[in-house]
Chain A
């Protein structure tokens, strides 16, 4: 098991989420950046469904009470193991008593820790993804104990890290499809969606990303309809909202754009204050 010595800003256990329960109003949840989380699992030889620890901007301090192996992907938060600096996207063996500490973030904003076999926290509705009202705890706190699998035949450190495409963390243009209500916008409103540089607002979290800029909006609200992570809504006050992994399953604001899966994985590595723009896919 692993003990949380110090919690980060918002640490959660996540897997690829909870499908098949949306009919009960349950969000899909799951890792915000599927690309990075899947990378951590695959470097370690885990299934892509293994649960990982997601941190944002400030990560936790963890103490291992048994041996395992780990891989860290996503944002580079200058993580140390017993005060020795670790590379991202590399496999490290961990012994009982070792302490893993997250440092300051040098690029990206969401980091993933995978352990051999995945974290073994509670399963609710087929998923370990933490969500308020569904799992007993919805984020990690100091003193929490995270069960992991016993391992006995680990072959050792890999001494090399997998090279990744850093553009995943540097992109500023995000590919989108047109949303169901896009064609109801007038020409100027349509152009503004693609000509405006948007700044990620402080009200951005696992449920949605919001932006500071205000657009003209002539659209009426719609009869409450279906949404997905990546749906971009335009509110009556002219604000854009990008729904994220913990979003509700329905919404009443016009859906003007839809981020591609790749774009969602990249946008969640951009933090408050970052400037972004949307680019329409044909």
Chain B
């Protein structure tokens, strides 16, 4: 299926390609397919392709002299898009401790929604989330797939400091803070894993298109995993999925 895409110059060295304005997995798949197809072409002039929900930014290594020519080339490539090497998609199981010690806003969400804390945890940890892209902070995963019953508005005034590993809900989204940061999302738990390791070749374990599932762990299990992470002995449980 071919989408109706719009192409426009973004900066002197980049062109923005946009899909229809909606968030969907079908669009994400096409975004990633086209992106990988462009990258596998080994074009000398395209240095990088970044993606978000429904757009890619094609960055060139030189000023684009004739935008219309480049756009025609990109359009032709979209029609002929193909990927030589299929990307492996993985499902990662992320341990989360939802104890009240970490889940600072669970009581407030529970009271507001008239839903028990255990029901909130159950719903949050049973969904399978899609990683749309990584942004906001290094290693911050933009996840789609939050249970509608758990949608909850951001806090009016953000907290000045949110702990590393915090799992939170902001509007229709859920996410994990890879490092301590200010933040306005509602805190429901904490994960002991590292989401961003700058010294590693692949600093983040997940990429656009991968899947995430949260697994509730006790405080004891949390401490055990945290220790293993510190010693470099913890591997995030994952499986290859075929989609």
Contact = CB atoms under 8 A, between A and B. Distances in A.
A156 interface: no
A22 B199 CA distance: 15
B99 to A, nearest CB: 26
A19 B46 CA distance: 12
A260 interface: yes
- Among B13, B23, B136, find the residue whose CB has the most chain A CB atoms closer than 10 A: B136
A226 B140 contact: no
Contact of B204 (A24, A134, A180): A24
B135 interface: yes
Contacts of A261: 11-13
Nearest to A251: B135
A177 B11 contact: yes
A226 B12 contact: no
Q: Chain B contact residues (Cβ within 8 angstroms of A): what range?
A: 35 or more
Contacts of A25: 134-140, 196, 204
A23 B207 contact: yes
Instruction: Give the secondary structure class of B's interface.
Output: loop
A26 interface: yes
Interface in B183-223: 196, 198-199, 202-204, 207-208
Nearest to B208: A23
Given A226-B52, A250-B142, A261-B11, 20 more contacts: A23-B50, A24-B134, A24-B203, A24-B204, A25-B135, A25-B138, A26-B198, A26-B203, A134-B138, A177-B10, A180-B10, A180-B18, A223-B22, A223-B54, A225-B16, A225-B18, A228-B10, A249-B135, A250-B135, A260-B12
Closest 5 CB pairs of A and B: A250-B135, A25-B134, A226-B57, A24-B204, A25-B138
Interface of A: 19-27, 124-125, 133-135, 177, 179-180, 222-226, 228, 230, 248-250, 258, 260-261
Interface of B: 8-14, 16, 18, 21-23, 47-48, 50-57, 133-140, 142, 178-179, 196, 198-199, 202-204, 207-208
16 contacts: A22-B50, A25-B134, A25-B135, A25-B137, A25-B140, A27-B138, A180-B8, A180-B10, A225-B16, A226-B51, A228-B57, A248-B135, A249-B135, A250-B136, A261-B12, A261-B13
